[in-house]
Structures are given as structure tokens and as C-alpha cells.
Amino acid sequence: MAHQAGFVSIIGKPNAGKSTLMNALVGEKMSIITPKAQTTRHRILGIVNDENYQIVFSDTPGVIKPHYALHESMMHQVDGSIVDADLILLVTDIYEEYDEADVLKKLERSSAPLAVLINKIDQSDEETVKKKVEFWQEKLNPKAIFAISALHGHNIKAIMDFVIENLPEHAAYYEKDALTDRNDRFFASEMIREQVFKQYKKEIPYSTEVIVTAFIEGEKLYRISAEIIVERESQKNIIIGKGGEMLKITGTYARRAMEDFFQQKVFLEMFVKVIPDWRTKKNYLKQFGYE
């Protein structure tokens, strides 16, 4: 039997459950997950390896109308993943009000086989799910439609079987022991950013970037230094909190997540830095890893 390999892009609007799905499919926590929309900013690859196949899943930012240069970079990453895709998984959910025009416009550029995944069915009833299936069948006539709960793992195996069936014949794109294209520094910064999204409200998480400035792997301890970038002095004060309390809480949860992820003791130090309007400045975005 010939070896199969391909790129599978997970596309959809913010908060549809794309990152939860990716983690369920890969079996590892690759993407950070928070209840807030637009948590994912980078295209992240999660790789599933078998003797006979290699699936390269691509979690992407939720499709939005760009308001900043940062948003434009995020949407370029979505476009890139659609162009590369051998197979596309369109994630929608039972709350969707049939206003997926932005997403569908992007999908027009692809001739890759498409599956529609209707997520969060654990929060719905049979009749609602049935109506969603009928809508998408008529709207897109996709190769398959799955009613799923990414959070509870419902129908994940059926999606995997579908993906494997539709993978092209190809040699592996990555080493067979690779899990992702991202390095440990990236995951460390994402774990801090995840806590910023969880601990702070309103605009703060969206005005924040995290840069890992040092990552030293000792035999018994990882020493990690990071800067939390904000746009205004007032935001810096909020991030730090009274007597440094909020920064300490954020750091504690981030460190625990890192220790779990790296299976190693972690010493984490964090600093807060103001760069006015960094989201609109392409030189900073490039420096922070946005294309």
C-alpha cells in the first residue's frame, strides 16, 4: 500500500471550536483554548504519524474582517492554509446564524475536498442539528458533513477515518517523530498568552503579545524569561495589578501549564513592556513572528 500524506486545514469563524478540534484530532495540546474569540493568532501545525500515513493538520485564526495590521497577518495565514490544503475541514457550530459569507468567500479559492463539521451538538437538540445538516448540504454540497462535539470527542474517529480515506499518496512531509512545526519557545509564549486571555477582561488580551526572551534548558530546570507587550501604560498597570498580584497569578498558572507540557520544572520570570499601537505597526509584527 502506498504511503499517504497531506495537509488538512481547519477553517471557520472565531470561537467555533477549531483549536479544541485540532487538539482532539492530534491527541496533544497544540493550540491554546479560551472562551474568548480570536485566541488563535498563528497558523499552527499538528502532525499525526502512522506507518502508512502522515496527516498535517493546520489550526488557523478565526476568519474576521481585519481592523489592524495584526488582523491582516492573521487572515494571510488563513489564506495560505487554504491554498496549501489537500483537504479542508470547515468548522461551524449549532449557534451559527448562517452568516458565514466571509469564510465561504475564502473557500472559493480552493478546489480541495471539503467536509463541514457542525460542532457543539452536545449543547443542542436533534431537530436543530438536522436543520443545520440540511442547510450545509444544500449550500455547499460538501464531500461529508459531521455533527460533532470536539470538547467531548464525539465523532472524532469518524473525522479521522474520513481524512485518511481522502489523503493523497505522498511521501511524508516531516520527520515521522515530529508533532508540530513550532518550537518550545513558541509554546511557552502561547501558554502565557492563554493565561492573559483567561485572567484579564475586555481589550487587554487583544492588546497583548508575549515574547520569550530567554529559554535555557537545564538538566533539572528550564529557565524561561518573557516580555508581555501592551500598547498603553494603563494596560501595563492592569497586567501587573496591585502590588504585582495579577502578574504573579498569571505567571503561576502559565508556569504550571509549562511544567505539564514540558514535563520539567520551570523557573519563569515575566516583565511588562509598553510598545504604543504595536498591532498597527508592520515592523513590530514582523519582529513578533507575524508574516
Residues that constitute the known binding site: 12-19, 59-63, 119-122
Contact 116, 136 (CB under 8 A): yes
Q: Which residue ranges make up the annotated binding site for GTP?
A: 12-19, 59-63, 119-122
Cβ(119)–Cβ(94) under 8 Å? yes
Q: How many CB atoms lie within 10 A of CB 246?
A: 17
Q: How far apart are CA 68 and CA 118, in angstroms?
A: 30
Cβ atoms of 7 and 84 within 8 Å: the answer is yes
Handedness of CA 227, 228, 231, 232 (dihedral sign): negative
